[in-house]
Amino acid sequence: MLDATSSYKLLIGASPGCTTSCTPAHHLARTGSVAERDDKTDDRTGHRIVPETTRRTDSLSGTRYGNRPTMKDVAARAGVGLKTVSRVVNGEPGVTPDTERRVQEAIDALGFRRNDSARVLRKGRTASIGLVLEDLADPFYGPLSRAVEEVARAHGALLINGSSAEDPEREQELALALCARRVDGLVIIPAGDDHRYLEPEIRAGVATVFVDRPAGRIDADVVLSDNYGGARDGVAHLIAHGHRRIGFIGDMPRIHTAAERLRGYRAAMEDAGIPVEDAWMSLGQTNPERVRRAAEEMLSGPEPVTAIFAGNNRVTVTVIRVLAEQSRRVALVGFDDIELADLLQPGVTVVAQDSAALGRTAAERLFRQLDGGLVAPERIELPTRLITRGSGELPPAD
Amino acid sequence: MLDATSSYKLLIGASPGCTTSCTPAHHLARTGSVAERDDKTDDRTGHRIVPETTRRTDSLSGTRYGNRPTMKDVAARAGVGLKTVSRVVNGEPGVTPDTERRVQEAIDALGFRRNDSARVLRKGRTASIGLVLEDLADPFYGPLSRAVEEVARAHGALLINGSSAEDPEREQELALALCARRVDGLVIIPAGDDHRYLEPEIRAGVATVFVDRPAGRIDADVVLSDNYGGARDGVAHLIAHGHRRIGFIGDMPRIHTAAERLRGYRAAMEDAGIPVEDAWMSLGQTNPERVRRAAEEMLSGPEPVTAIFAGNNRVTVTVIRVLAEQSRRVALVGFDDIELADLLQPGVTVVAQDSAALGRTAAERLFRQLDGGLVAPERIELPTRLITRGSGELPPAD
DNA sequence: TAGAGCCTGGACAACGTTGTCAGATGCGCG
DNA sequence: CGCGCATCTGACAACGTTGTCCAGGCTCTA
CA of B198: which chain A residue's CA is closest? A111
DSSP label of A278 = G
In a domain, A47, yes or no: no
Q: Does A14 sit within 8 Å of B387, measured CB to CB?
A: no
Omega prior to A346 cis, within 30 of 0: yes
Q: What are the φ/ψ torsions at residue A380 (nearest 5 degrees)?
A: -110, 125
Chain B contact for A33 (CB, 8 A cutoff): yes
Residues of A in contact with B91 (CB under 8 A): 5-7, 10
Contact A224, A381 (CB under 8 A): yes
Residues A220 and A363 in one domain: yes
Q: How far apart are CA B191 and CA B133, in angstroms?
A: 8
Task: Say how many CB pairs under 8 Å bridge A and B.
Answer: 478
Residues A156 and A271 in one domain: no
Residues of B in contact with A124 (CB under 8 A): 3, 66
pLDDT at B258: 97
Half-sphere exposure of B124 (CA within 13 A, CB side): 10
Contact A336, A315 (CB under 8 A): no
pLDDT in tens, chain B (398 residues): 333 332 223 233 333 333 333 333 333 333 333 343 333 444 444 455 554 433 233 322 223 345 789 999 999 999 999 999 999 999 888 888 889 999 999 999 999 999 999 999 998 889 999 999 999 999 999 999 999 999 999 999 999 999 999 999 999 999 999 999 999 999 999 999 999 999 999 989 899 999 999 999 999 999 999 999 999 999 999 999 999 999 999 999 999 999 999 999 999 999 999 999 999 999 999 999 999 999 999 999 999 999 999 999 999 999 999 999 999 999 999 999 999 999 998 999 999 999 999 999 999 999 999 987 567 999 999 999 999 999 999 999 87
Contacts of A17 (CB under 8 A, 6+ apart): none
Q: Is A201 helix (H, G, I), strand (E, B) or coil?
A: helix
> Which residues form the domain of B107?
71-114
Residues B220 and B362 in one domain: yes
Q: How far apart are CA B212 and CA B148, in angstroms?
A: 13
pLDDT at B317: 96
In a domain, A336, yes or no: yes
In a domain, A26, yes or no: no
Q: What is the mean pLDDT of chain A?
A: 85
What helix, strand, coil percent values describe chain A, rounded to 5?
A: 40, 15, 45
Chain A contact for B117 (CB, 8 A cutoff): yes
Q: Which of B6, B8, B38, B112 to mutate to test the interface with A (most CBs of A within 10 A)?
A: B8
Please report, rounded to a whole number, the percentage of residues in chain A having pLDDT higher than 70.
83
Tell me the per-residue pLDDT of B307-329, one tens digit each, with 9 for 90 and over. Answer: 999 999 999 999 999 999 999 99
Residues B216 and B362 in one domain: yes
Residues B242 and B322 in one domain: yes
Q: Which of B181, B224, B386 to mutate to test the interface with A (most CBs of A within 10 A)?
A: B181
Chain A contact for B385 (CB, 8 A cutoff): yes
In a domain, A240, yes or no: yes
Domain of A100: which CATH number? 1.10.260.40
Q: Does the pLDDT value for residue A345 go beyond 80?
A: yes
Q: Does A6 sit within 8 Å of B142, measured CB to CB?
A: no
Residues of B in contact with A365 (CB under 8 A): none
Residues B333 and B304 in one domain: yes
Q: What are the φ/ψ torsions at residue B382 (nearest 5 degrees)?
A: -95, 140
Please tell me whether any atom of strand C lies within 7 Å of the Cβ of A126.
no
Contact A382, A224 (CB under 8 A): yes
Residues of B in contact with A387 (CB under 8 A): 29-34
Residues B214 and B362 in one domain: yes
Chain B contact for A82 (CB, 8 A cutoff): no
Q: Is A125 helix (H, G, I), strand (E, B) or coil?
A: coil
- Domain boundary, last residue among B81, B114, B147: B114
DSSP line for B355-381: HHHHHHHHHHHHHHHHHH-----EEEE
Tell me the per-residue pLDDT of A145-169, one tens digit each, with 9 for 90 and over. Answer: 999 999 999 999 999 999 999 999 9
Chain B contact for A327 (CB, 8 A cutoff): no
Q: Is B25 helix (H, G, I), strand (E, B) or coil?
A: helix
pLDDT at A39: 38
Residues B234 and B339 in one domain: yes
Residues B288 and B333 in one domain: yes
Which residue, counting CA atoms, is nearest to the C1' of nucleotide C6? Answer: A94
- Domain boundary, last residue among A83, A114, A145: A114
pLDDT at B49: 53
Contact B306, B330 (CB under 8 A): yes
Domain of B216: which CATH number? 3.40.50.2300
In a domain, B130, yes or no: yes
Of the candidates B4, B31, B220, the beta carbon closest to that of A389 is on B31
- Please report, rounded to whole angstroms, the spatial distance between the CA atom of protein residue A122 and the C1' atom of nucleotide C13: 12
Q: In chain A, how many domains are there? A: 3
Residues A250 and A335 in one domain: yes
Q: How far apart are CA A256 and CA A259, in angstroms?
A: 5
Chain B contact for A40 (CB, 8 A cutoff): no
Name the nt closest to A95 by C-alpha to C1'.
Answer: C8
Of the candidates A24, A56, A111, the beta carbon closest to that of B219 is on A56
Residues of A in contact with B204 (CB under 8 A): 65-68, 111, 113
Please tell me whether any atom of strand C lies within 7 Å of the Cβ of B71.
yes
Protein-strand D interface by C-beta, 7 A: A 68, 70-72, 82-83, 86, 89-90, 112, 114-115, 118-119, 121-123; B 5, 75, 79-84, 87, 93-96, 98-99, 118, 121-122
Chain B contact for A394 (CB, 8 A cutoff): no
Nearest to A12 by CA among A1, A4, A20: A4
Q: Is B37 helix (H, G, I), strand (E, B) or coil?
A: coil
Q: What are the φ/ψ torsions at residue A162 (nearest 5 degrees)?
A: -145, 155
In a domain, B344, yes or no: yes
Omega prior to A24 cis, within 30 of 0: no
What is the average pLDDT across A353-381? 91
Please tell me whether any atom of strand C lies within 7 Å of the Cβ of A94.
yes
Chain B contact for A30 (CB, 8 A cutoff): yes
Contact B383, B348 (CB under 8 A): no
- Please report, rounded to whole angstroms, the spatial distance between the CA atom of protein residue B94 and the C1' atom of nucleotide D1: 30
Helix (H) or strand (E) holding A208: strand A207-211
Q: How far apart are CA A339 and CA B289, in angstroms?
A: 17
The one-letter code for the residue type at B32 is: G
Contacts of A192 (CB under 8 A, 6+ apart): A168, A169, A171, A172, A216
| Cβ-count burial A188-204 (b if 16+ within 10 Å, e if not) | bbbbbeebeebbbbbbb
In a domain, B268, yes or no: yes
Q: Where are the beta strands (DSSP E) in A38-96?
A: 48-51
In a domain, A31, yes or no: no
Q: Does the pLDDT value for residue A23 go beyond 80?
A: no
Residues B293 and B348 in one domain: yes
Tell me the per-residue pLDDT of B214-232, one tens digit each, with 9 for 90 and over. Answer: 999 999 999 999 999 999 9
Q: How far apart are CA B348 and CA B239, in angstroms?
A: 17
Contact A235, A246 (CB under 8 A): yes
Residues B80 and B163 in one domain: no
pLDDT at A48: 52
